[in-house]
Amino acid sequence: MRRLAALAALALIGAGCGSTAPAHTATATRTATDPDTLVKLAECIRAHGVPHFPDPDAKGDFAFGIDVSPAVWQHATQACKDLTPPGTFSGKRSPKQQSDALRFAECVRRNGVKDFPDPANGDPIIDTTKIPSSRQPGGMTILNAATHKCRGILKLAAGGQG
C-alpha cells in the first residue's frame, strides 16, 4: 500500500493561486487502482467545487492544495466516493508516519514558519487555517519554501520513501 501526500503549499501555492480561502491537506492512501479511475476521481473532485485538484501523476500520486472551505471539500469527496480507492484522503497515520509528521513540522518551523503546528494523528499534516503566518503578506511564499525544503520528510510521513 502506498501513501500519498497532499501538499497544499507545493501544488496550490506553487501554481500561483491567489486565493485567500483556507487550504487544507489530507494524506491519501490507495491500493492498486486503474489509472483511468484516478483521473475520473480528479475530474469528479474538480466538478464538485475543487477547481485546482490535479490529475494524478504517472505514478498515480496526487499532490494538491485545496483552496476551498472544509464543507466544499467534504461535499466533493462525498460526491466522488464511488471513484475513491479505499483509504484515500484519510488523515490517519501509522506511529512511524506520525513520528515523521512531527519531524516534518519541526523542519518547517526551522525553515521559517515558526507557528507551524504539530499535526495530530488523523488531522491533515498541513492545514493553513492553523498557521496564522500563512495569512500574512508573503506568508504563503515562506510556507511554500519551507515545505519544499522538508518534502523528503513529508513523503515519509505520507508513507512513501523520502
Q: What is the pLDDT of residues 83-115, one digit of tens each?
A: 877 656 666 788 998 999 999 999 999 999 999
**How far apart are the two ends of the chain, measured CA to CA in Å?**
16
C-beta of residue 110 within 8 angstroms of C-beta of residue 159 = no
Largest Cα–Cα separation, the chain: 42
What distances in angstroms separate CA 140 from CA 55, 112, 119, 128, one per listed residue?
23, 11, 18, 9
Pairing of strands 2-4, 28-30: antiparallel
Query: So what's the pLDDT on residue 67?
Result: 65
DSSP letters, 91-138, are: ----HHHHHHHHHHHHHHHHTT-TTPPPPPTTS-S-BGGG-GGGGSTT
Domain boundaries, the chain: 2-83, 95-157
Quickly tell me which residue has 496564522 as its cell.
132
Query: What pLDDT, on the 0 to 100 scale, is given for residue 72?
Result: 86
Reported pTM: 0.59
32 versus 58: which is more confidently predicted?
58
How does pLDDT run across 68-84, given as a tens digit for each residue? 777 888 899 889 988 87
Q: Which of residues 88 and 38 earns the better pLDDT score? A: 38
Question: For residue 19, is pLDDT > 50?
Answer: no
The answer to which of 34-38, 40-44, 132-136 has the lowest mean pLDDT is 34-38
Q: Which residue has the higher pLDDT, 57 or 131?
A: 131
pLDDT digit string, tens, across residues 141-159: 899 899 889 988 988 887 7
Mean pLDDT of 40-49: 92
Nearest to 28 by CA among 14, 45, 49: 45
pLDDT bracket for residue 43 (50, 70, 90): very high
